[in-house]
Amino acid sequence: STLNKNIITPKILYCEIFLGQLLTVTSTNYYLTAVNQITMSSNDFQIRLVNNEKGKGLFAIHSFKDGDTILEEKPIICCQFSWNLEYGYLACDNCLKPLETAEENVRRLTGNSTIILPHPECCETKKDSITECLECGTKYCSIECQNDAYLRYHSTICLHSKEKDEFHPLVQLNETWKQMHYPPESATVMLLVKMVALVNQASDKEEVLSTFSQFCHRTVNDTHEIAHKLLGEKFIGQIDVLRQMMQKAVNTEFTEHWFTPEGFKSLLALVGTNGQGIGTSAFSRWVKNVFALELPRDERIQVDKLIEQIYDDMEEAVAFFLNNEGSGLYVLQSSINHSCVPNAVVEFPYSNNILVLKAIRDIHPEEEICISYLDECCLERSRHSRQKALSSLYLFHCYCNKCLSQADDLDLTSEDELDDNDMSS
């Protein structure tokens, strides 16, 4: 999930992207090239400056029907969460595509090695396409992803050993982060490492730095509070430890401004504010494909029971940690504001890092396209509870139509939230 994005520079005050056009990172000047090429031929939506408080927003140029795809986008950079990787959730290091078959996925998550899934043709994992870095063993779903990673960021952060070197600065940095940020995870310091590597390997470093500068920037007080949320009360005093460890682990020649004490807090805040969560699953893709099959009634009943039982077993074994999980930075998605009555939703239907924004109701021309930063349960709570969550997690107050219509409601916390607090006290 993501936060409100508040500040926009003139370079992106007005840009458009063609419906269905994929913003793909293919070179060091990926951002301006992609946006400029698309702007000339697009009539689907615009990124505009809303006001000083909300910052930028995404607006429809023409109408969208419920279920329409508004846009698809690849991230500038993404990274699997550190503990997620540590616990054996196998994903492509470049796009987070699952590297397990659906059957392997189910067996690992249930702890039951005897499970056999029917209809193996519904599994999308191509095991024969999986490759790895010959130097460090980092795995990829395809040679295309491996080459893309190497050219953009991997060559400068490759560990050059398949054996874990506990004394390598990058390994020590990741281990230190893991002790500060336990599951459920919302970020990883290794995304910052990839960001620095992306700058270092770019032929036009200023352009990549300019791209990162398009994302939301916060006040000094806000950056401290966001960093506080990421690390918690216990570790907030150790931000400087992370900063110094990163300086030892990566070449900061071209990103020195990121590694001043305040610059590093701003970098953490950028990731905390703009990072979009990504989840992928070999089993969920298998389930979706099996649901699309035309099966005899008896077989359909059996398959549905099997799927239900597997999900029950996985929940018992690993709770809600079902997916390969990570986060990424998306240029267009970062412009989308929150509403408690959203008209769009972010999905990852291809089980990789390609983000799809879909309309969940009809959207009219000139209407702002908004998503919810809160889950469905939170959206059903009282205005006071929603505002409390948004203020605590995302540092802003919502003024959507739903919140304005409930402005005169008593500032009472929802009953279910009170029950939760009673149980925990």
Domain residue spans of the chain:
77-278
CA proximity to 367, closest of 339, 403, 402, 330 = 339
Residue 24 binned pLDDT confidence (cut-offs 50, 70, 90): very low
pLDDT of 284 over the 60 cut: yes
CA proximity to 242, closest of 230, 129, 300 = 230
Q: What is the pLDDT of residues 71-118, one digit of tens each?
A: 999 999 999 999 999 999 999 999 999 999 999 999 999 999 999 999
The b-or-e profile of 237-248 (16+ CB within 10 A means b, else e) is eebeebbebbbe
Q: What is the pLDDT of residues 190-243, one digit of tens each?
A: 999 999 999 999 999 999 999 999 886 666 778 878 877 777 778 878 999 999
Name the pTM for this structure: 0.85
Q: What is the pLDDT of residues 40-82, one digit of tens each?
A: 224 789 999 888 778 889 999 999 999 999 999 999 999 999 9
- Scanning 15-126, the segments in alpha helix (DSSP H) are 30-39, 82-86, 102-110
- Scanning 18-126, the segments in alpha helix (DSSP H) are 30-39, 82-86, 102-110
